Chain A
């Protein structure tokens, strides 16, 4: 870290600089000018007040109705910040069946995501190893994988909902469907392209099937498998938000939709930022795990 001090500071300051520019531009673009009554007749003002566009203050001045402001145009950064402040203060509060604090929503999404992703990874790695070791089977099943892989996981949702009859498990299964194919395909490829000398050594040493699997095949294919998991991870993260929206399952994706139903645009923007934050947290956790199993030749 001798020369790191200076060179790592620079991108940080540039990041802050761009963030500042963005927030400032956002703020300026979303400023609404104060209500100007000049050039309007009393009759027009009265109609506007009846419609709830404007209201009279105690000193008789007309100003924009703050309640209507909320759904007019895009809220500025300060409005979103206020909303975030309110939501974060109530992070652990449950107000009603559909109004859980943000911490709970994040927890629901993370656990739903983890369940689907882990189950998919387990199945994909096991099947991928079997296909990777058996070229004939791989070639026989590959056409099916190729057809199933590009199907959007959300396209499965009606069928899954119909068969499992439970939105909770349907959401997990949608994540599962999103995560299973990339890992399956890359695991099969990784095991198949494992250097044949490794398997020859395992054969000469008469390793048992199980030992061969976890001493040679799994660690040997680990870097490729991790690449597949990374792709699966991304697509599962993309799938979990719309799955929650469509199924009405509590979570950060659902938060975005419920705020839209409330016509609370600041809430929608806050929900988007939460989704991004959750993604970053899950991703860094994944990278830590991935670093443990990769090796260099």
Chain B
């Protein structure tokens, strides 16, 4: 049985005109194993952040549910920590206090010495030693998200939920932080569910990448196995023979669905058949062929 399972989930929002509802996504079924890094890629508005919020317990699905470690998710909890796109650091607290707030909540029985040591450990892990007493205002976007990562890793959650974590960080810093995240993940082997726009980021970090069609009524159309051995780094990953196959495949998917939308492409048969699994290791082809049923 999978560690984190999303089971036949639908989400409807009330439509803007007020009469009836809009389907955000439908029939989403995801199974994530313990220690797996899974990413969802899709265009804006396809409901991928909503999906993440539902796993976090911050939103509720219309139908279906989330099962984590055999238990149904009913609300937010310390076992599922979110790293927010907007960082969501409390601007009135210092870096240390921001992380300490989380540690204190996760380990209420710890002494202040233990809490201090634990907070310090994770601040050091993200390379922010010396900035403990700074307020988030005084930090760059990259440093802010390092605090966000330290806060998330420090409570040692069962599942880390990354909601476009590097979208607001400049491209050069983004690469550095992505690599730091790879190292942190290698050390902890957390189960991670990430949502992103960034194809390279997804390939660098993920074990599997789910491709979501455009909304409304978005679905997970394909699941791409990232058949690139770990440990990975930005420098070496592009040498891998599968890298550009995977990358082209994903970009092709995103462009195709952006220009056409999925409604005219997928008949009822495709929806019922569930996501197509893509694995380049099993394919002997050297030339790229879109592997999606038309």
> When chains A and B are docked, how far (Å) is the Cα of A197 from the Cα of B165?
14
Complex interface: stretch among B31-39, B86-94, B199-207: B86-94
Instruction: Tell me whether B88 and A200 are in contact (CB under 8 A).
Output: yes
0/1 interface trace, chain B 153-171, chain A, CB 8 Å (1 if under):
0010000000000000000
Enumerate chain A residues within 8 angstroms of B57, measured Cβ to Cβ.
203-204
Instruction: Tell me whether B76 and A207 are in contact (CB under 8 A).
Output: no
Instruction: Tell me whether B78 and A295 are in contact (CB under 8 A).
Output: no
0/1 interface trace, chain A 263-297, chain B, CB 8 Å (1 if under):
00000000000000000000000000000000111
Give the contacting residue for B92; candidates A201, A203, A205, A220; CB below 8 A: A220
Nearest to B59 among chain A residues (CB) is A200
Instruction: Tell me whether B135 and A195 are in contact (CB under 8 A).
Output: no
Instruction: Tell me whether B137 and A204 are in contact (CB under 8 A).
Output: no
> Does A80 make an interface contact (CB < 8 A)?
no
B104 to chain A, nearest CB (A): 9
> Does B56 make an interface contact (CB < 8 A)?
yes
What size tier do the contact residues of chain B reach? 20 to 34
* In the complex with contacts A215-B101, A297-B137, A203-B76 CB distance below 8 A: yes
B110 to chain A, nearest CB (A): 15
Count residues on chain A whose CB falls below 8 Å from chain B CBs: 18
> Does B80 make an interface contact (CB < 8 A)?
yes
Nearest to B82 among chain A residues (CB) is A204
> Does B127 make an interface contact (CB < 8 A)?
no
Instruction: Tell me whether B82 and A207 are in contact (CB under 8 A).
Output: no
A200 to chain B, nearest CB (A): 5
Enumerate chain B residues within 8 angstroms of A201, measured Cβ to Cβ.
82, 84, 88, 90
* In the complex with contacts A205-B102, A207-B105, A198-B88 CB distance below 8 A: yes
0/1 interface trace, chain B 50-91, chain A, CB 8 Å (1 if under):
000000111000000000000000011110111010101011
Instruction: Tell me whether A204 and B80 are in contact (CB under 8 A).
Output: yes
> Does B106 make an interface contact (CB < 8 A)?
yes
Instruction: Tell me whether B92 and A206 are in contact (CB under 8 A).
Output: no
> Does A229 make an interface contact (CB < 8 A)?
no
Q: From residue 123 to 141 of chain B, which have CB atoms closer than 8 A to chain A?
A: 135, 137
Instruction: Tell me whether B84 and A204 are in contact (CB under 8 A).
Output: no
> When chains A and B are docked, how far (Å) is the Cα of A190 from the Cα of B287?
58
Instruction: Tell me whether A206 and B88 are in contact (CB under 8 A).
Output: no
Enumerate chain B residues within 8 angstroms of A219, measured Cβ to Cβ.
90, 92-93
Enumerate chain B residues within 8 angstroms of A55, measured Cβ to Cβ.
none
Instruction: Tell me whether A206 and B91 are in contact (CB under 8 A).
Output: no
> When chains A and B are docked, how far (Å) is the Cα of A216 from the Cα of B101?
10
> When chains A and B are docked, how far (Å) is the Cα of A220 from the Cα of B90?
8
Enumerate chain A residues within 8 angstroms of B76, measured Cβ to Cβ.
200, 203-204, 206
> When chains A and B are docked, how far (Å) is the Cα of A142 from the Cα of B95?
38
Instruction: Tell me whether B90 and A206 are in contact (CB under 8 A).
Output: no
* In the complex with contacts A204-B81, A295-B135, A216-B90 CB distance below 8 A: yes
Instruction: Tell me whether B88 and A197 are in contact (CB under 8 A).
Output: yes
Enumerate chain B residues within 8 angstroms of A200, measured Cβ to Cβ.
56, 58, 76, 82, 84, 88
Instruction: Tell me whether A205 and B106 are in contact (CB under 8 A).
Output: yes
Question: For A195, A201, A222, A297, which residue has the most chain B Cβ atoms within 10 angstroms?
Answer: A201
Enumerate chain B residues within 8 angstroms of A195, measured Cβ to Cβ.
86, 88
Enumerate chain A residues within 8 angstroms of B102, measured Cβ to Cβ.
205
Give the contacting residue for B84; candidates A197, A215, A297; CB below 8 A: A197
A143 to chain B, nearest CB (A): 23
Question: For B57, B58, B80, which residue has the most chain A Cβ atoms within 10 angstroms?
Answer: B58
Q: From residue 97 to 127 of chain A, which have CB atoms closer than 8 A to chain B?
A: none
Question: For A197, A219, A295, which residue has the most chain B Cβ atoms within 10 angstroms?
Answer: A197
Q: From residue 181 to 230 of chain A, which have CB atoms closer than 8 A to chain B?
A: 195, 197-198, 200-201, 203-207, 215-216, 219-220, 222
> When chains A and B are docked, how far (Å) is the Cα of A167 from the Cα of B56?
57
Enumerate chain A residues within 8 angstroms of B81, measured Cβ to Cβ.
204
* In the complex with contacts A222-B92, A297-B137, A205-B86 CB distance below 8 A: no
> When chains A and B are docked, how far (Å) is the Cα of A207 from the Cα of B105?
7
Enumerate chain B residues within 8 angstroms of A203, measured Cβ to Cβ.
57-58, 75-76
> When chains A and B are docked, how far (Å) is the Cα of A204 from the Cα of B55?
11
> When chains A and B are docked, how far (Å) is the Cα of A215 from the Cα of B100?
12
Enumerate chain B residues within 8 angstroms of A215, measured Cβ to Cβ.
90, 101
Instruction: Tell me whether B90 and A198 are in contact (CB under 8 A).
Output: yes
Enumerate chain B residues within 8 angstroms of A207, measured Cβ to Cβ.
101, 105
17 more A-B contacts (CB under 8 A) besides A200-B76, A204-B80, A296-B135?
A: A197-B86, A198-B90, A200-B82, A204-B56, A204-B78, A204-B81, A204-B82, A205-B102, A206-B76, A206-B77, A206-B78, A207-B105, A216-B90, A219-B90, A219-B92, A295-B91, A297-B91
Q: What are some 14 contacts across the A-B interface (CB < 8 A)?
A: A197-B88, A200-B58, A200-B76, A200-B88, A201-B82, A203-B58, A204-B56, A204-B78, A205-B102, A205-B106, A207-B101, A295-B91, A296-B91, A296-B135
Which 8 pairs of residues, A with B, have the shortest CB-CB distance? A197-B88, A205-B105, A203-B76, A295-B92, A219-B92, A204-B76, A296-B137, A297-B91
